[in-house]
Structure 1
Amino acid sequence: MTTLPDLIHQANEACTADGLRVLANILDHADVISRWTIEEAQRLGLPAAFAGHWPQKAELPVEYKVPRYGADASLIWKALEWKVRTGRIDACDPNLIAEALEGEAADDGPRWLDRALADLLFLLAWPARTYALHREIDFTAQRVVDAITSSPSCVLDLNIDAVWPAARHRLLMLDPLLDVPEECPWPTFVELAEATAARIEKGQEMERRIVRKEPVPPEYERFMR
């Protein structure tokens, strides 16, 4: 029986386009991811009251205290790092440590994925067809793959429609005359993954055609200029 870690490994080993397709198939089985997330959270010692609600609810069932940042927050964080790296954890403010770890938990999961998705939506919706854009779509799609394969649990709060307004705003800021739909053209991850994979493969085909000096569609005539 193929397990979630097996599928994650497949996505990591595949090229970007195929990795997206593997992940799209995984996301069709949210119940599998949910069960795996709960089991992994409990294996790591997280409380059961938290395990069944991550990442929709990120707070742990403990009292949260406001950390003391002092006059210069960045220096406070650096001093904290210095104490930890030199083995003086007892001298650290535990609330500061908790605050840093809370941020990392989000940045290595839901926030990482949301940022990558917003960039990918922007690139897919931009009307130009250039080599630089083709490479950037490939690179950004790999960021999406990396975010999900590094933290599969983050897809349990995946909402592409919620990410689309930020991408749409960026598009209209660059060109207010662009015809950008209010609703996301790729509202599910399956649709987004397939559209992205198709664009990556189309760009690779255009590269081969140009090298062979074969004709390309009009929208790709400036592809390598």
Structure 2
Amino acid sequence: MTEIVPRIAVIAGTTGLVGRCCLQRLLDDPRYGRVIALTRQADPFEHPKLKWLRTDFDDLTALVPALPADDAYCCLGTTLERAGSRTAFEHVDHHLVLAFARAAHAAGASRFMVVSAYGANVRSLAFYSRVKARMEQAVSDVGYSAVHILRPSLLLGDRSEQRPLESFAQAVAPLLAPLFRGALAPMRPVQADAVAAALIAAAFDPRAGTKVHRWPFQVQSPPGKT
């Protein structure tokens, strides 16, 4: 019987809603023997499988030798309000995501999983959606054997920071959820942990090329812990 060698994952964006869930799932998943997490802060906690790497994300080239991984997970993202300007928002949600994709690929990763957003479209009237679409195209051109892009709508879960409008939306989401059926299903609010589960399932999807997943996420993954 051929022994299955555990994979190595590298992840960016672990302080966000989806990133926190994804990191915990990676640590709990026996298919991964090691997890490398990029962070701006001091190591938040310890785990036998986990290695933290300090970085400001603006220059990841020097970190490439420390990023040997099979799968790269990107949960980086901010909001226009928090970023403070369109330029600052694009820097995080496009340029830093692309920089991470390039660094992880240079380090040997062959699969890239990234969280985008519902409505991403280069022709959208919304700046946010145009930036997300340009990011999707950019990471698809890096050279990975497989790129999986998840486009969730409103994310549900406990955030570390307060977002009043999102808190209100999360409160009413369960009441509105039954309305999002059929063609409207991709607009349905989704739990952050469900997005994290789909990201990891995508890493084991045997298909090559770029795949875009909308809710409900349809990921072809063999049986296993997801």
Both structures adopt the same fold (TM-score exceeding 0.5): no
Work out which structure has the larger RCO, using CA pairs closer than 8 Å and 6 or more positions apart in sequence.
Answer: 1
TM-score range, shorter chain: under 0.3
Q: Which has the larger strand fraction?
A: 2
Of structures 1 and 2, the larger Rg is shown by 1
TM-score, normalising length: structure 1: 0.27
Q: Which has the larger helix fraction?
A: 1
